[in-house]
Structure 1
Protein backbone atom coordinates (compact mmCIF):
# COMPACT_ATOMS: atom_id res chain seq x y z
CA UNK A 1 0.00 0.00 0.00
CA UNK A 2 2.74 2.47 0.96
CA UNK A 3 4.63 1.59 -2.21
CA UNK A 4 1.57 2.55 -4.25
CA UNK A 5 1.32 5.90 -2.47
CA UNK A 6 4.97 6.75 -3.01
CA UNK A 7 4.77 5.88 -6.71
CA UNK A 8 2.01 8.40 -7.44
CA UNK A 9 3.18 11.15 -9.77
CA UNK A 10 1.17 14.25 -8.95
CA UNK A 11 3.10 16.30 -11.49
CA UNK A 12 1.99 13.88 -14.20
CA UNK A 13 -1.64 14.00 -13.01
CA UNK A 14 -1.61 17.81 -13.05
CA UNK A 15 -0.19 17.83 -16.57
CA UNK A 16 -2.90 15.38 -17.64
CA UNK A 17 -5.64 17.50 -16.10
CA UNK A 18 -4.45 20.84 -17.45
CA UNK A 19 -3.87 19.33 -20.91
CA UNK A 20 -7.53 18.31 -21.07
CA UNK A 21 -8.62 21.70 -19.67
CA UNK A 22 -6.59 23.39 -22.39
CA UNK A 23 -8.26 21.11 -24.96
CA UNK A 24 -11.70 22.09 -23.61
CA UNK A 25 -10.91 25.78 -24.09
CA UNK A 26 -9.53 25.07 -27.58
CA UNK A 27 -12.79 23.25 -28.34
CA UNK A 28 -14.72 26.32 -27.18
CA UNK A 29 -12.70 28.44 -29.62
CA UNK A 30 -13.58 26.05 -32.45
CA UNK A 31 -17.24 26.21 -31.49
CA UNK A 32 -17.18 30.02 -31.46
CA UNK A 33 -15.73 29.98 -34.97
CA UNK A 34 -17.99 27.17 -36.20
CA UNK A 35 -20.98 26.58 -33.86
CA UNK A 36 -21.97 23.10 -35.01
CA UNK A 37 -23.61 20.50 -32.78
CA UNK A 38 -20.50 18.32 -33.04
CA UNK A 39 -18.12 21.11 -32.01
CA UNK A 40 -20.33 22.05 -29.07
CA UNK A 41 -20.68 18.46 -27.90
CA UNK A 42 -16.90 18.05 -27.97
CA UNK A 43 -16.54 20.84 -25.38
CA UNK A 44 -18.76 18.80 -23.07
CA UNK A 45 -16.70 15.66 -23.69
CA UNK A 46 -13.53 17.48 -22.65
CA UNK A 47 -15.17 19.09 -19.61
CA UNK A 48 -16.30 15.65 -18.39
CA UNK A 49 -12.84 14.22 -19.04
CA UNK A 50 -11.24 17.02 -17.01
CA UNK A 51 -13.67 16.35 -14.16
CA UNK A 52 -12.75 12.66 -14.16
CA UNK A 53 -9.02 13.41 -13.91
CA UNK A 54 -9.67 15.91 -11.14
CA UNK A 55 -11.62 13.30 -9.16
CA UNK A 56 -8.72 10.88 -9.55
CA UNK A 57 -6.24 13.50 -8.39
CA UNK A 58 -8.34 14.42 -5.34
CA UNK A 59 -8.72 10.75 -4.41
CA UNK A 60 -4.95 10.30 -4.65
CA UNK A 61 -4.34 13.40 -2.52
CA UNK A 62 -6.68 12.04 0.15
CA UNK A 63 -5.01 8.64 0.34
CA UNK A 64 -1.38 9.76 0.09
CA UNK A 65 0.56 10.63 3.22
CA UNK A 66 3.26 12.75 1.54
CA UNK A 67 2.78 14.84 -1.61
CA UNK A 68 5.54 16.70 -3.52
CA UNK A 69 3.45 19.87 -3.42
CA UNK A 70 1.55 21.13 -0.39
CA UNK A 71 -1.71 19.17 -0.52
CA UNK A 72 -3.85 22.27 -0.01
CA UNK A 73 -2.08 24.07 -2.88
CA UNK A 74 -2.44 20.97 -5.04
CA UNK A 75 -6.17 20.83 -4.33
CA UNK A 76 -6.64 24.57 -4.92
CA UNK A 77 -4.72 24.51 -8.21
CA UNK A 78 -6.65 21.51 -9.50
CA UNK A 79 -9.98 23.11 -8.54
CA UNK A 80 -9.19 26.56 -9.93
CA UNK A 81 -7.86 25.28 -13.26
CA UNK A 82 -10.83 22.93 -13.63
CA UNK A 83 -13.16 25.93 -13.60
CA UNK A 84 -11.81 26.97 -17.02
CA UNK A 85 -13.25 23.80 -18.53
CA UNK A 86 -16.48 24.26 -16.58
CA UNK A 87 -16.96 27.79 -17.91
CA UNK A 88 -16.12 26.65 -21.45
CA UNK A 89 -18.98 24.16 -21.37
CA UNK A 90 -21.35 26.58 -19.59
CA UNK A 91 -20.72 29.10 -22.38
CA UNK A 92 -21.67 26.59 -25.08
CA UNK A 93 -24.64 25.31 -23.10
CA UNK A 94 -26.12 28.76 -22.53
CA UNK A 95 -25.53 29.88 -26.11
CA UNK A 96 -27.70 26.92 -27.06
CA UNK A 97 -30.31 27.61 -24.40
CA UNK A 98 -30.61 31.27 -25.41
CA UNK A 99 -30.47 30.30 -29.11
CA UNK A 100 -27.89 32.93 -29.95
CA UNK A 101 -24.73 32.55 -32.04
CA UNK A 102 -21.19 33.26 -30.82
CA UNK A 103 -20.20 36.78 -31.87
CA UNK A 104 -16.86 38.47 -32.54
CA UNK A 105 -16.43 39.39 -28.88
CA UNK A 106 -16.79 35.77 -27.81
CA UNK A 107 -14.30 34.68 -30.47
CA UNK A 108 -11.79 37.26 -29.23
CA UNK A 109 -12.24 36.46 -25.53
CA UNK A 110 -12.17 32.69 -26.02
CA UNK A 111 -8.89 32.99 -27.95
CA UNK A 112 -7.38 35.01 -25.11
CA UNK A 113 -8.62 32.39 -22.64
CA UNK A 114 -6.90 29.74 -24.76
CA UNK A 115 -3.62 31.65 -24.48
CA UNK A 116 -4.09 31.61 -20.71
CA UNK A 117 -4.75 27.85 -20.76
CA UNK A 118 -1.64 27.34 -22.90
CA UNK A 119 0.37 29.30 -20.33
CA UNK A 120 -1.01 27.27 -17.41
CA UNK A 121 -0.14 24.06 -19.24
CA UNK A 122 3.44 25.25 -19.72
CA UNK A 123 3.54 26.06 -16.00
CA UNK A 124 2.55 22.59 -14.85
CA UNK A 125 4.81 20.96 -17.45
CA UNK A 126 7.78 22.81 -15.91
CA UNK A 127 6.64 22.80 -12.28
CA UNK A 128 8.89 19.96 -11.18
CA UNK A 129 12.17 21.17 -12.67
CA UNK A 130 12.10 24.71 -14.09
CA UNK A 131 10.70 27.27 -11.67
CA UNK A 132 12.00 30.20 -13.73
CA UNK A 133 9.83 29.04 -16.63
CA UNK A 134 6.84 28.68 -14.30
CA UNK A 135 7.37 32.23 -13.04
CA UNK A 136 7.64 33.55 -16.60
CA UNK A 137 4.50 31.81 -17.84
CA UNK A 138 2.42 32.49 -14.71
CA UNK A 139 3.27 36.18 -15.02
CA UNK A 140 2.20 36.09 -18.68
CA UNK A 141 -1.08 34.42 -17.74
CA UNK A 142 -1.79 37.21 -15.25
CA UNK A 143 -1.19 39.82 -17.95
CA UNK A 144 -3.54 37.97 -20.27
CA UNK A 145 -6.23 38.14 -17.58
CA UNK A 146 -5.93 41.92 -17.77
CA UNK A 147 -6.19 41.71 -21.55
CA UNK A 148 -9.37 39.65 -21.37
CA UNK A 149 -10.81 42.00 -18.77
CA UNK A 150 -10.34 44.91 -21.20
CA UNK A 151 -11.98 42.85 -23.95
CA UNK A 152 -14.88 42.06 -21.62
CA UNK A 153 -15.51 45.71 -20.79
CA UNK A 154 -15.30 46.67 -24.47
CA UNK A 155 -17.86 43.98 -25.32
CA UNK A 156 -20.17 45.19 -22.55
CA UNK A 157 -19.87 48.81 -23.67
CA UNK A 158 -20.85 47.92 -27.23
CA UNK A 159 -23.62 45.62 -26.01
CA UNK A 160 -25.26 48.27 -23.86
CA UNK A 161 -25.09 50.78 -26.71
CA UNK A 162 -28.00 48.87 -28.25
CA UNK A 163 -31.63 48.84 -27.20
CA UNK A 164 -32.53 45.16 -27.66
CA UNK A 165 -32.84 44.27 -23.98
CA UNK A 166 -33.32 40.55 -24.54
CA UNK A 167 -30.13 40.43 -26.55
CA UNK A 168 -28.32 42.50 -23.92
CA UNK A 169 -29.35 40.19 -21.08
CA UNK A 170 -28.38 37.05 -22.99
CA UNK A 171 -24.96 38.17 -24.18
CA UNK A 172 -24.13 39.85 -20.87
CA UNK A 173 -24.47 36.47 -19.19
CA UNK A 174 -22.27 34.73 -21.76
CA UNK A 175 -19.57 37.39 -21.73
CA UNK A 176 -19.47 37.15 -17.94
CA UNK A 177 -18.70 33.42 -18.11
CA UNK A 178 -15.50 34.08 -20.03
CA UNK A 179 -14.56 36.93 -17.72
CA UNK A 180 -15.05 34.64 -14.69
CA UNK A 181 -12.99 31.95 -16.43
CA UNK A 182 -10.14 34.42 -16.84
CA UNK A 183 -10.37 35.20 -13.11
CA UNK A 184 -9.88 31.49 -12.42
CA UNK A 185 -6.91 31.41 -14.78
CA UNK A 186 -5.41 34.35 -12.89
CA UNK A 187 -6.06 32.60 -9.56
CA UNK A 188 -4.37 29.45 -10.90
CA UNK A 189 -1.32 31.51 -11.86
CA UNK A 190 -1.19 32.96 -8.34
CA UNK A 191 -1.32 29.48 -6.81
CA UNK A 192 1.51 28.35 -9.10
CA UNK A 193 3.61 31.33 -8.01
CA UNK A 194 2.93 30.40 -4.37
CA UNK A 195 3.95 26.81 -5.02
CA UNK A 196 7.34 27.62 -6.55
CA UNK A 197 8.16 29.84 -3.55
CA UNK A 198 7.53 26.86 -1.25
CA UNK A 199 9.35 24.21 -3.31
Structure 2
Protein backbone atom coordinates (compact mmCIF):
# COMPACT_ATOMS: atom_id res chain seq x y z
CA UNK A 1 0.00 0.00 0.00
CA UNK A 2 2.94 2.32 0.69
CA UNK A 3 3.79 2.27 -2.99
CA UNK A 4 0.28 3.48 -3.83
CA UNK A 5 -0.12 5.99 -0.98
CA UNK A 6 3.20 7.59 0.01
CA UNK A 7 3.87 8.16 3.68
CA UNK A 8 2.49 11.48 4.94
CA UNK A 9 5.31 13.82 6.01
CA UNK A 10 5.32 14.79 9.68
CA UNK A 11 4.41 18.43 9.26
CA UNK A 12 3.80 18.80 12.99
CA UNK A 13 7.49 18.09 13.58
CA UNK A 14 8.50 20.35 10.71
CA UNK A 15 6.50 23.28 12.06
CA UNK A 16 7.90 22.61 15.51
CA UNK A 17 11.41 22.85 14.07
CA UNK A 18 10.57 26.23 12.56
CA UNK A 19 9.21 27.44 15.89
CA UNK A 20 12.36 26.25 17.65
CA UNK A 21 14.44 28.30 15.24
CA UNK A 22 12.20 31.35 15.72
CA UNK A 23 12.67 31.08 19.48
CA UNK A 24 16.44 30.78 19.09
CA UNK A 25 16.59 33.76 16.73
CA UNK A 26 14.42 36.03 18.87
CA UNK A 27 16.42 35.08 21.96
CA UNK A 28 19.59 36.26 20.23
CA UNK A 29 17.63 39.30 19.02
CA UNK A 30 16.90 40.17 22.64
CA UNK A 31 20.61 39.84 23.41
CA UNK A 32 21.42 42.19 20.52
CA UNK A 33 19.17 44.82 22.06
CA UNK A 34 21.33 44.82 25.18
CA UNK A 35 24.24 46.45 23.38
CA UNK A 36 24.18 46.13 19.58
CA UNK A 37 27.17 43.79 19.60
CA UNK A 38 28.32 43.01 16.06
CA UNK A 39 28.96 39.33 16.78
CA UNK A 40 25.42 38.99 18.10
CA UNK A 41 24.09 40.76 15.01
CA UNK A 42 25.81 38.20 12.81
CA UNK A 43 24.23 35.40 14.84
CA UNK A 44 20.76 36.84 14.20
CA UNK A 45 21.49 36.98 10.48
CA UNK A 46 22.87 33.43 10.46
CA UNK A 47 19.78 32.07 12.22
CA UNK A 48 17.52 33.87 9.76
CA UNK A 49 19.43 32.25 6.92
CA UNK A 50 18.88 28.85 8.54
CA UNK A 51 15.22 29.75 8.72
CA UNK A 52 15.12 30.42 4.99
CA UNK A 53 16.65 27.02 4.32
CA UNK A 54 14.17 25.28 6.61
CA UNK A 55 11.24 27.16 5.10
CA UNK A 56 12.31 26.21 1.57
CA UNK A 57 12.67 22.55 2.57
CA UNK A 58 9.25 22.54 4.21
CA UNK A 59 7.65 24.20 1.20
CA UNK A 60 9.21 21.67 -1.15
CA UNK A 61 8.02 18.81 1.03
CA UNK A 62 4.53 20.31 1.10
CA UNK A 63 4.37 20.65 -2.66
CA UNK A 64 5.38 17.01 -3.10
CA UNK A 65 3.18 15.59 -0.34
CA UNK A 66 0.28 13.39 -1.38
CA UNK A 67 -1.55 14.10 1.89
CA UNK A 68 -1.13 16.35 4.92
CA UNK A 69 -2.25 15.84 8.55
CA UNK A 70 -4.06 19.19 8.53
CA UNK A 71 -5.42 21.41 5.77
CA UNK A 72 -2.74 21.94 3.12
CA UNK A 73 -3.37 25.68 2.98
CA UNK A 74 -2.94 25.93 6.76
CA UNK A 75 0.39 24.13 6.56
CA UNK A 76 1.49 26.61 3.90
CA UNK A 77 0.33 29.61 5.95
CA UNK A 78 2.07 28.28 9.06
CA UNK A 79 5.38 27.77 7.28
CA UNK A 80 5.28 31.28 5.82
CA UNK A 81 4.04 33.02 8.99
CA UNK A 82 6.66 31.54 11.30
CA UNK A 83 9.45 32.41 8.89
CA UNK A 84 8.30 36.04 8.76
CA UNK A 85 9.22 36.44 12.43
CA UNK A 86 12.85 35.65 11.67
CA UNK A 87 12.75 37.98 8.67
CA UNK A 88 11.68 40.92 10.80
CA UNK A 89 14.31 40.24 13.46
CA UNK A 90 16.96 40.24 10.75
CA UNK A 91 15.61 43.36 9.04
CA UNK A 92 15.51 45.29 12.32
CA UNK A 93 19.14 44.44 13.06
CA UNK A 94 20.14 45.49 9.56
CA UNK A 95 18.28 48.79 9.88
CA UNK A 96 19.92 49.61 13.19
CA UNK A 97 23.34 48.88 11.75
CA UNK A 98 22.75 51.05 8.68
CA UNK A 99 21.26 53.91 10.71
CA UNK A 100 23.94 53.51 13.40
CA UNK A 101 21.35 53.40 16.15
CA UNK A 102 21.94 52.06 19.63
CA UNK A 103 19.16 50.05 21.31
CA UNK A 104 16.98 51.82 23.87
CA UNK A 105 14.43 50.74 26.46
CA UNK A 106 11.69 50.60 23.83
CA UNK A 107 13.54 48.41 21.34
CA UNK A 108 14.50 46.13 24.23
CA UNK A 109 10.88 45.89 25.37
CA UNK A 110 9.58 45.14 21.88
CA UNK A 111 12.30 42.54 21.25
CA UNK A 112 11.40 40.83 24.52
CA UNK A 113 7.74 40.73 23.51
CA UNK A 114 8.64 39.25 20.13
CA UNK A 115 10.59 36.52 21.91
CA UNK A 116 7.67 35.85 24.25
CA UNK A 117 5.38 35.59 21.25
CA UNK A 118 7.74 33.10 19.59
CA UNK A 119 7.80 31.04 22.79
CA UNK A 120 4.00 30.97 22.85
CA UNK A 121 3.91 29.79 19.24
CA UNK A 122 6.51 27.13 20.00
CA UNK A 123 4.38 25.80 22.85
CA UNK A 124 1.21 26.00 20.80
CA UNK A 125 2.47 24.14 17.75
CA UNK A 126 4.19 21.57 20.00
CA UNK A 127 0.86 20.46 21.50
CA UNK A 128 -1.29 21.02 18.40
CA UNK A 129 -1.51 17.36 17.40
CA UNK A 130 -2.37 15.95 20.83
CA UNK A 131 -4.03 18.83 22.66
CA UNK A 132 -5.40 21.45 20.27
CA UNK A 133 -7.43 23.25 22.94
CA UNK A 134 -4.26 23.98 24.89
CA UNK A 135 -2.65 25.06 21.63
CA UNK A 136 -5.42 27.65 21.31
CA UNK A 137 -4.41 29.16 24.66
CA UNK A 138 -0.86 29.58 23.41
CA UNK A 139 -2.15 31.07 20.16
CA UNK A 140 -4.02 33.67 22.20
CA UNK A 141 -0.88 34.39 24.23
CA UNK A 142 1.05 35.01 21.01
CA UNK A 143 -1.60 37.43 19.79
CA UNK A 144 -1.54 39.31 23.09
CA UNK A 145 2.15 40.13 22.62
CA UNK A 146 1.19 42.16 19.55
CA UNK A 147 -1.21 44.27 21.59
CA UNK A 148 1.44 44.79 24.27
CA UNK A 149 3.95 45.78 21.60
CA UNK A 150 1.53 48.34 20.21
CA UNK A 151 1.37 50.00 23.64
CA UNK A 152 5.17 50.16 23.81
CA UNK A 153 5.24 51.55 20.27
CA UNK A 154 2.82 54.37 21.10
CA UNK A 155 4.73 55.25 24.26
CA UNK A 156 8.00 55.25 22.31
CA UNK A 157 6.58 57.63 19.71
CA UNK A 158 5.31 59.94 22.42
CA UNK A 159 8.77 60.23 23.94
CA UNK A 160 10.44 60.44 20.55
CA UNK A 161 8.62 63.64 19.62
CA UNK A 162 9.23 65.21 23.05
CA UNK A 163 12.13 67.66 22.71
CA UNK A 164 12.53 67.92 26.50
CA UNK A 165 12.88 64.16 26.77
CA UNK A 166 15.44 64.19 23.95
CA UNK A 167 17.57 66.79 25.71
CA UNK A 168 17.31 64.99 29.02
CA UNK A 169 18.41 61.66 27.55
CA UNK A 170 20.93 62.90 24.96
CA UNK A 171 23.75 60.38 24.66
CA UNK A 172 27.38 61.30 23.85
CA UNK A 173 26.96 59.71 20.42
CA UNK A 174 23.86 61.81 19.70
CA UNK A 175 25.70 64.94 20.85
CA UNK A 176 28.58 64.19 18.50
CA UNK A 177 26.13 63.74 15.63
CA UNK A 178 24.53 67.09 16.42
CA UNK A 179 27.93 68.80 16.64
CA UNK A 180 28.87 67.39 13.23
CA UNK A 181 25.92 69.22 11.70
CA UNK A 182 27.60 72.56 12.42
CA UNK A 183 29.09 72.47 8.93
CA UNK A 184 25.59 73.14 7.60
CA UNK A 185 25.28 76.38 9.57
CA UNK A 186 28.51 78.18 8.76
CA UNK A 187 26.89 81.59 8.28
CA UNK A 188 25.38 81.63 11.76
CA UNK A 189 27.03 82.75 14.98
CA UNK A 190 28.19 80.14 17.48
CA UNK A 191 25.01 80.22 19.54
CA UNK A 192 22.76 79.94 16.50
CA UNK A 193 24.89 77.17 15.04
CA UNK A 194 24.60 75.13 18.23
CA UNK A 195 20.84 75.60 18.38
CA UNK A 196 20.24 74.69 14.74
CA UNK A 197 22.59 71.70 14.89
CA UNK A 198 20.82 70.34 17.94
CA UNK A 199 17.41 70.86 16.33
CA UNK A 200 18.42 69.08 13.14
CA UNK A 201 19.96 66.28 15.19
CA UNK A 202 16.67 65.94 17.06
CA UNK A 203 14.74 65.63 13.79
CA UNK A 204 17.16 63.06 12.38
CA UNK A 205 16.90 61.03 15.56
CA UNK A 206 13.11 61.07 15.24
CA UNK A 207 13.22 59.85 11.65
CA UNK A 208 15.68 57.04 12.34
CA UNK A 209 14.14 55.73 15.53
CA UNK A 210 10.60 55.99 14.19
CA UNK A 211 11.63 53.74 11.30
CA UNK A 212 13.02 51.10 13.66
CA UNK A 213 10.06 51.33 16.04
CA UNK A 214 7.64 50.94 13.13
CA UNK A 215 9.54 47.94 11.84
CA UNK A 216 9.44 46.24 15.24
CA UNK A 217 5.72 46.96 15.52
CA UNK A 218 5.24 45.28 12.14
CA UNK A 219 7.27 42.34 13.40
CA UNK A 220 4.82 41.97 16.26
CA UNK A 221 2.03 41.89 13.68
CA UNK A 222 3.72 38.85 12.14
CA UNK A 223 3.75 37.08 15.48
CA UNK A 224 0.04 37.80 15.81
CA UNK A 225 -0.55 36.56 12.28
CA UNK A 226 1.14 33.25 13.10
CA UNK A 227 -1.06 33.06 16.20
CA UNK A 228 -4.13 33.60 14.02
CA UNK A 229 -3.07 30.75 11.74
CA UNK A 230 -2.67 28.48 14.75
CA UNK A 231 -6.10 29.58 15.98
CA UNK A 232 -7.65 28.75 12.60
CA UNK A 233 -6.12 25.28 12.63
CA UNK A 234 -7.46 24.59 16.11
CA UNK A 235 -10.93 25.73 15.03
CA UNK A 236 -10.89 23.10 12.29
CA UNK A 237 -9.50 20.11 14.18
CA UNK A 238 -10.58 20.55 17.81
User: TM tier, shorter chain?
Assistant: over 0.9
2:228 to 177, 184, 190: 190
Do the aligned residues in 2 keep the contact of 1:5 with 1:63 (CA within 8 Å)? Answer: no
TM-score under structure 2 normalisation? Answer: 0.80
Equivalent residue pairs, number: 199
Segment of structure 1 superposing worse, 127-136 or 54-63: 127-136
1:176 to 210, 214, 217: 214
In structure 2, distance between residues paired with 1:25 and 1:173:
19
In structure 2, distance between residues paired with 1:120 and 1:100:
30
Instruction: Tell me the CA shift for residue 127 of structure 1.
Output: 1.0
Computing the radius of gyration over CA atoms, which structure comes out larger, 1 or 2? Answer: 2
Q: CA RMSD in A?
A: 1.5
Do the aligned residues in 1 keep the contact of 2:35 with 2:102 (CA within 8 Å)? Answer: no
Instruction: Tell me the CA shift for residue 77 of structure 1.
Output: 1.4
Pairwise mapping of residues 29-68 of structure 1 onto structure 2 (< 5 A)?
Answer: 29-68=30-69
Pairwise mapping of residues 36-115 of structure 1 onto structure 2 (< 5 A)?
Answer: 36-115=37-116
Q: Which residue of 1 aligns with 2:14?
A: 13
Q: Which residue of 2 aligns with 1:123?
A: 124
**CA separation of 1:4 and 1:110: change in aligned 2, threshold 3 A:** farther
TM-score under structure 1 normalisation? Answer: 0.95
C-alpha offsets along residues 3-30 of structure 1, whole Å, 9 cap, x if unaligned?
8941521111101111101111111100
Name whichever structure is richer in helix by fraction.
1
Instruction: Tell me the CA shift for residue 34 of structure 1.
Output: 2.6
Structure 2: gaps of 5 or more residues: 164-198
Segment of structure 1 superposing worse, 115-124 or 74-83: 74-83
In structure 1, distance between residues paired with 2:3 and 2:148:
46
C-alpha offsets along residues 44-103 of structure 1, whole Å, 9 cap, x if unaligned?
011011111110110011001110111111111111121111110111111110111111
Deviation >2 Å, runs of 4+: 1-5
C-alpha offsets along residues 152-196 of structure 1, whole Å, 9 cap, x if unaligned?
111111111235111111111111111111111111111111101
